[in-house]
Amino acid sequence: MSAKKVAGSPKHTGTVALINARVVDPSSNRDEPGGLVIKNGAIADIGPHLRRNAPEGAEVIDCKGHVLAPGLIDAQVFTGEPGFEHRETLKTASQAAAAGGVTTIVVMPETNPVIDQVALVDFIQRRARDNAVVNVHTMAAMTKGLKGEEMTEIGLLKRAGAIAFSNGKQSVANTRVMRNVLLYGKDYGALIVHHTEDPYLSQNGMMNSGEVAARLGLSGVPKAAEIIMLERDVRLVEMTGGRYHAATISCAESLDVIRAAKARKLAVTCGVSINHLTLNENDIGPYRTFFKLRPPLRKDEDRVAMIRGIASGDIDIIVSSHDPQDADDKRHPFAEATDGAVGLETLLPAALRLFHSGELTMLTLLKAMTLNPAKLLGLESGRLVKGAVADVIVFDPGEPWVLNKDQLNSRSKNSPFDEAKMQGRVLRTIVGGNTVFQYAGTDRS
């Protein structure tokens, strides 16, 4: 991917006008020709009157009819810093995010050491401030060492800047501990994010349980492992009144549980990874380890159910579930390979497959990656309105290209979309009024 990275440049203090755009903003249901004006890092004006005209003296960027939208917010990003910098750093993750139109990332606590102390939350914030080109927020651990045995100091961690609390890719099997986490989380207004997978039912499982797994000779992970854990958590939410978010659901039955919880007015939300919206278990093919994910890819009926969940609003957000793994961890027989796939740079183009297929509208798709995660996490971004922070992207939804994993900005290259035909290219990413990424494959202003 030929790209011009504009990292480390000073904040733009002048006036910038993006004109001749298709402005798409889920917060106002806006999808119309127009433009916007950025001044001092914030949106100063927006509307159809800016389609051709710009304020006198402003730097003008002609969007050439392409989509102008809020920057994406990715609420589930695994990085390698600290401890696994060979897989990913905050710097490389932020560069990958900028190239993918993601202006805010929420990093997970699954590092070495685990982000379970105030000093480590502060470390991430300082490292991000010094090295990242996009906004970085921290999701701290809900249990010490992610062991699921002893609760962390949720109040202190939240005061230090933790935006939510998670146990990473490890589920908390101890029901008493999970109840206490939700109970104490409620006292501090904390969002509890949980990976719903019963560790005993899923133990040694390699892919979705079923005919394909049997044919490949691989042990399966039954859907019940996800459903049972989710049903338990919903009961605990009902008991405690805590705020709960199921990190990534993957099957139709889990969606039914979420719908029932929302119908009872419980403080329950959920997300889905872009992989489970666009891929299924058949994509594993001849033991392709880049498709070994957690939760595993399910049947196509479940994938379709996830899309319908986004369309109905029962699934709140879409995440990349960016999980970099080095080549040595993936160059193993399928049963021994580490699960996970990078996704920051492919989140938007992969999501646009659902737009091009007619399954989701542009507004619905972007809402799940901008406005909804902003609301969930209490962020002021994710919307194009006067006074809002100028985190915006310009993308061409129609430009075709083929993904070459070696051209990814991420330090790891384990993309399930390697060599896949994509349609949709990010042309410019602006964070706080500052251009942090500009596609330079062709002559663009």
Residue reference for tokens 């010094």? 130
Residue 219 in any domain: the answer is: yes
| Least confidently predicted of 153-162, 324-333, 338-347, 375-384 | 324-333
Residue 97 in any domain: the answer is: yes
pLDDT cut 90: percent of the chain above it = 94
Judgement on whether residues 284 and 316 belong to the same structural domain of the protein: yes
Judgement on whether residues 43 and 78 belong to the same structural domain of the protein: no
pLDDT cut 70: percent of the chain above it = 96
Judgement on whether residues 93 and 122 belong to the same structural domain of the protein: yes
Amino acid at 386: K
CA-CA distance, 398 to 66, in Å (whole number)? 9
Judgement on whether residues 19 and 118 belong to the same structural domain of the protein: no
**CATH of residue 252:** 3.20.20.140
Judgement on whether residues 129 and 263 belong to the same structural domain of the protein: yes
Mean pLDDT score, 147-172: 97
Q: On the CB side of 364, how many CA atoms lie within 13 Å of its CA? A: 16
CB 163, CB 136: distance < 8 Å:
no
In three-state secondary structure terms, 237 is helix
CB 167, CB 178: distance < 8 Å:
no
Q: Is the peptide bond before 295 cis (omega within 30 degrees of 0)?
A: yes
Judgement on whether residues 31 and 77 belong to the same structural domain of the protein: no
Judgement on whether residues 79 and 62 belong to the same structural domain of the protein: no
How many separate domains does the chain show? 2
Judgement on whether residues 325 and 428 belong to the same structural domain of the protein: no
What pLDDT was estimated at residue 113? 97
What pLDDT was estimated at residue 211? 97
What pLDDT was estimated at residue 7? 39
CA-CA distance, 26 to 372, in Å (whole number)? 9
What pLDDT was estimated at residue 148? 97
125 sits in which H/E element: helix 118-131
Judgement on whether residues 19 and 90 belong to the same structural domain of the protein: no
How is residue 423 written in tokens? Answer: 């349609």
Judgement on whether residues 62 and 75 belong to the same structural domain of the protein: no
What pLDDT was estimated at residue 222? 97
Judgement on whether residues 26 and 124 belong to the same structural domain of the protein: no
Q: Is the pLDDT of residue 441 over 90?
A: no
pTM for this prediction? 0.95
Judgement on whether residues 21 and 84 belong to the same structural domain of the protein: no
What pLDDT band is residue 63 in, cutting at 50, 70 and 90?
A: very high
Q: Is the pLDDT of residue 217 over 80?
A: yes
Q: Is the pLDDT of residue 445 over 70?
A: no
Residue 404 in any domain: the answer is: no
CA-CA distance, 370 to 382, in Å (whole number)? 4
Please give the residue range of the domain that contains residue 55: 3-69+388-396+422-438
CA-CA distance, 225 to 79, in Å (whole number)? 26
Question: To the nearest whole number, what is the mean pLDDT of the chain?
Answer: 95
**CATH of residue 46:** 2.30.40.10
Residue 408 in any domain: the answer is: no
What pLDDT was estimated at residue 13? 54
With vertex at residue 245, the alpha carbon angle to CA 388 and CA 84, rounded to the nearest 5 degrees, is 85
